[in-house]
Structure 1
Amino acid sequence: MATQHKHHDHSEHSGDQLVEEAADVLREAGEQWTAMREDVFRVLADRARPASAYDIAEDVGKVRGKRVAANSVYRILDLFVRANLAKRIESANAYLVNTHPGCRHDCIFLICDDCGQAEHFDDDKLTNALRDGGKAHGYTNVRPVVELRGLCGDCAS
């Protein structure tokens, strides 16, 4: 039997409101919202396309005026993914900010093979079916990772 989620409206955030929402979510998870974490989050939120930890480290270094190690950024990004503040594009080893951090879904990513743009949509019926399929095969803590590749509307025209 598929897990049912109550329908709800996403609250999309941007700018300082997004940063405040992310800080609140992280604190509610029992974590600290440090200046470094805020810098990483702001840099990630300012990007329109998925970014690697190295790209983020470079940009955070510019903001801070000193070199920032990519492995430090990786640890922060891993925390952000666990806390649902960011999503990882597995096939590209890149990250996107979650503009509705208080909302948990298994996102389905659409990734443009030409320009690299990525967007997501939620389809609980589909991802719950995948989760249930994994459970039917004896797996626990199943986490669907779904990425669809193709050409975005701009690149296709």
Structure 2
Amino acid sequence: MATAHRHTHKEHEGEALAEAAKRSLEEQGERWTGMRAEVFDELAKHSRPVSAYDIAENLSKQRGSRVAPNSVYRILDIFVRGNLANRIESANAFLVNSHPGCRHDCIFLICDDCGAADHIDDDRVTGALREAGRDAGYSDVRPVIELRGLCAECSR
């Protein structure tokens, strides 16, 4: 991931990531069910944004029984609200948040060629957008910023 500009946090991976996600969700009053754990684990396997349909298909294969994409979407919505995952709006796909429990707005960088996604944490930019929204009379403003281009690997 890209380095933070004015915001620092602890990045988690592997079992520590799943445990941080579970703890964060439970602290928000949500339950960490077996299905939620499976969806989170599947999401965490992907370094690129993944769709709910792909997650449902992979879980169906693992379980040997059909997992409905609508069920996965509902869980992913809980994860996004709970800051365990980020939604890449332009791709209708999701990316695990490697620092659950840390509230801030990411600026996503998405490669138009390979689909890789990275993020920058710059609270100066997102804070200014939140303030502009509040100044316009909006509450509960959530900036969604996606920059598209070519990653370093694809631009060679």
Q: Do the aligned partners of 2:7 and 2:122 also contact (CA within 8 Å) in 1?
A: no
Structure 1 ranges of 4+ moved more than 6 A: none
Question: Which runs of 5 or more structure 2 residues have no equivalent in the other structure?
Answer: 1-5
1:61-103 superposed Cα distances (whole Å, 9 cap, x missing partner) = 1222211000000000000000000000011110000000021
Distance in 2 of aligned mates of 1:8 and 1:68: 38
Distance in 2 of aligned mates of 1:31 and 1:136: 32
Q: Residue 99 of structure 2 aligns with which residue?
A: 100
Distance in 1 of aligned mates of 2:7 and 2:153: 30
Question: Which runs of 5 or more structure 1 residues have no equivalent in the other structure?
Answer: 1-6
Q: Do the aligned partners of 2:7 and 2:121 also contact (CA within 8 Å) in 1?
A: no
Q: Per chain length, whose mean CA-contact separation is higher, i.e. which structure has more relative contact order (CA < 8 Å, sep 6+)? A: 2
Instruction: Output the amino acid matched with 1:140.
Output: S
Identical aligned residues as a percent: 66
Instruction: Output the amino acid matched with 1:152.
Output: C
Q: Residue 153 of structure 1 aligns with which residue?
A: 152
Matches within 5 A, 1:1-150: 9-150=8-149
TM (norm. structure 2) is 0.94
Q: How many residues align?
A: 151
Distance in 2 of aligned mates of 1:66 and 1:21: 29
Secondary structure at the residue paired with 2:126? Answer: helix
